Amino acid sequence: MLVKEVYETLRSSPQWNQTLFLITYDEHGGFYDHVPTPVRGVPSPDGIRSDENFNFDRLGVRVPTIAVSPWIEKGTIVHGPNGPTPTSEYEHSSIPATVKKIFNLPNFLNKRDEWAGTFEGILQTRTEPRTDCPMKLPTPVRNGKNEANEEANLSEFQQELIQLSAVLKGDNILTSYPHTIGKDMNVKQGKEYTEDSVRRFFEAGHFAKKMQVSEEHIVQMKPSLTSKTIQITNHKPIGKQKET
């Protein structure tokens, strides 16, 4: 629905003929791709290595990207770039690289977007914008046929979300973390736990800001057993949440 709503808003805009709508993804949803990930000639963005001695000189698995514009020919499929180097690929840095090229901006962000392929060429095959772009897109079909069952046990993925929520709440220091926390929850209880974790984390953050704690400090929550208070200790925001 999000893509449908954004597209239809742009399509009805007076600026539609000056629009390029890009849809891409951070991950592709798995670990397998039959196309090997590029590892040759990929520059590190800034030359900084991680603590694990990773050089950031390779790309990950492919992700789908869709470009929508009245200046693109219908059914256009693009597989790879023509430069700027022999090893250049389309990747996330292609977006700022393309923006730089289209608007003739002065500087690249780093070596990675300087290397990345650009896709302004797909906008340069027409002399005038198309007029046959649909005003409305079909409404997406729901994957599930049934309503959510709030009494159902949590799936493995939902249990992992509970583990993430536990870190916000401070429950990650309990002995039940991470192997048993959330195991006995149903969907409704998991939803309530997650919402409560986020709410308390924001409360602690707002309290730390009110106490003028340095922005460099991290809000760290700690559970306990008697009250629900948030304290600042050693100039660091620490949420102490006492469960009754």
Q: Is residue 39 part of a domain?
A: no
Q: What is the pLDDT of residues 80-132, one digit of tens each?
A: 999 999 999 999 999 999 999 999 999 999 999 999 999 999 999 999 999 99
Q: Per-residue b/e over 141-155, b at no fewer than 16 CB within 10 Å?
A: eeeeeeeeeeeeebe
* In the block, residue with structure tokens 């990929």: 42
Q: Is residue 231 part of a domain?
A: yes
Q: What is the pLDDT of residues 132-179, one digit of tens each?
A: 999 999 998 877 777 778 999 999 999 999 999 999 888 888 888 888
Tokens read off for 172: 């990650």
Partner residues linked to 186 by β-bridges: 153
Give residue 129's Cα distance to chain centre.
31
Q: In this structure, are residues 154 and 187 in contact, taking their beta carbons and an 8 Å threshold?
A: yes
Partner residues linked to 206 by β-bridges: none
Q: Is residue 13 part of a domain?
A: no
Q: Quick one: pLDDT band at residue 53, thresholds 50, 70, 90?
A: confident
> What DSSP string runs through 147-207?
---TTSBPPHHHHHHHHHHHHHHTGGGSTTTTTTTTTT-BHHHHHHHHHHHHHHHHHHHHH
Q: Is residue 55 part of a domain?
A: no
DSSP single-letter state for residue 70:
T
**Range(s) of the domain holding residue 226:** 156-242
User: How many domains are there within the chain?
Assistant: 1
Q: What is the pLDDT of residues 147-157, one digit of tens each?
A: 778 999 999 99
Q: What is the pLDDT of residues 191-217, one digit of tens each?
A: 999 999 999 988 888 888 888 888 777
